[in-house]
Amino acid sequence: MTLFLLSGIGVVCFNTRLGFLDPELSSKPDAMEYLKASKSVFRLLHQEISGGSILHGLYRNKTYRNFEAVQLKLKHYSGKELQKASQKLKEKQQNGTFDTEEPNLLFSLLSDPKIDLDDISNLMNSLYVGGTDSTAKSLQIFFYNLAMNPEKQEILYQEINEVLGPDQPLTPEALAQMPYLKAAIKESFRMMFPNLGISRFMPKDVVLSGYHVPEGTQVLICSSSVSKACFDNHDQYIPERWLRTEQGKRSDSTIHPMSVLPFGYGPRNCIGRRFAEQEMFLATVKVLQKLKIGLKPRSEGVQFIYSIFLEPEKPIAFIFSKR
Ligand code: HEM
């Protein structure tokens, strides 16, 4: 799943397929290094947040040096990809084939003289790192929930089959006819929340549940607990709770609209939300059109832990069988 998502985000960030789905991947040292570096970022961040490293704020301890090395590696690799993309852009501009209306994030940034290459490189690295593990783990957990709840998987398969049959590609029109797919993903986020929550520095003094919290205090909004506390049968996977009636109202009117916010909230919410959702829709439809998702018995009831994002303690052994 990580490789699928690395390939997808590579197209957004660098306008090219970086070869992560290539059977020859292990013989591409650059791509392997990049893969390892992008995975290390979250491991090191988790080490910092969970108290595994306290002194990095005071001096360049081991965690700091490792983090720096990983970031430099990412920058080196993305620098090379950006050079290739700017070369391509120059050629297009010179031979008159550059279309300014074409929706292309990288070309629109590169062709803006006010933005320098270093800023673009930093932005692309943030998107690249932020967009890989997050979605790969969420997709894996979603497949796990479908495998653990075969009757819900069957309802989802029926929806996909009715709209697209076994071979049709997913289009925005088809997606609009798939409420169960969206409900099934939302329920997976609710039941197994992808991150612990979001944090904010208080812009002024506030009183929260009777406690005075002074301006400037960092507050963690523990969304992972809220998404359990607010729901009946919170440990059951019930996508139906998110379906709407024909009048567009939610079937369960007791659900608070802020109770499940896996992508955060407000002006600093997740910039990659739409992209992550599209990837999850696409991967699910493609897989379920052809395959049933099951689990080897050793993976049923596997434990999940937070390492920035929620992940299984041990690798999940899926069984994909032909329909
Ligand atoms: C299922 C997948 C994902 C989840 C659950 C997720 C979750 C989050 C959350 C909770 C935040 C903090 C929001 C807040 O504080 O209100 C965030 C921020 C961010 N995410 Fe995601 N994310 C996902 C996918 C992605 C993808 C695909 C990308 C890139 C294409 C991405 C890039 C970012 C960036 C750059 C930020 C920082 C935004 C800022 O500080 O303004 N994320 N994400």
pLDDT tens figures, 86-97: 888 888 888 888
Q: Which two tokens stand for residue 144?
A: 């796990």
Please state, in angstroms and as integers, the Cα–Cα distance from residue 319 to each residue in 85, 154, 184, 286, following that order. 39, 16, 20, 16
Structural tokens at position 133: 């593990």
Go through the chain and tell me how many residues it has. Answer: 323
Which amino acid, residue 225?
Answer: S
> Which regions of the chain carry the CATH code 1.10.630.10?
141-322
Least confidently predicted of 89-103, 213-227, 272-286: 89-103
Contacts of residue 147, defined as CB under 8 A and 6 or more positions apart, other chains included, come to: 153, 293, 294, 295, 318
Q: Any residues with CB less than 8 A from the CB of 231 and at least 6 apart, and which?
A: 190, 241, 255, 259
First to last CA, the chain: 21
Pocket test of ligand 1: the residue of 270, 279, 307 to mutate, having most ligand atoms within 8 Å of its CB, is 270
CATH code, 141-322: 1.10.630.10
Q: List residues near ligand 1 (CB under 6 A).
A: 9, 126-127, 130-131, 134-135, 138, 194-195, 198, 262-266, 268-272, 275-276
pLDDT value of position 97: 85
pLDDT band at residue 264 under the 50/70/90 scheme: very high
Helix (H, G, I), strand (E, B) or coil at 130: helix
pLDDT digits (tens, 9 = 90+) for 115-164: 988 888 888 888 888 888 899 999 999 999 999 999 999 999 999 999 99
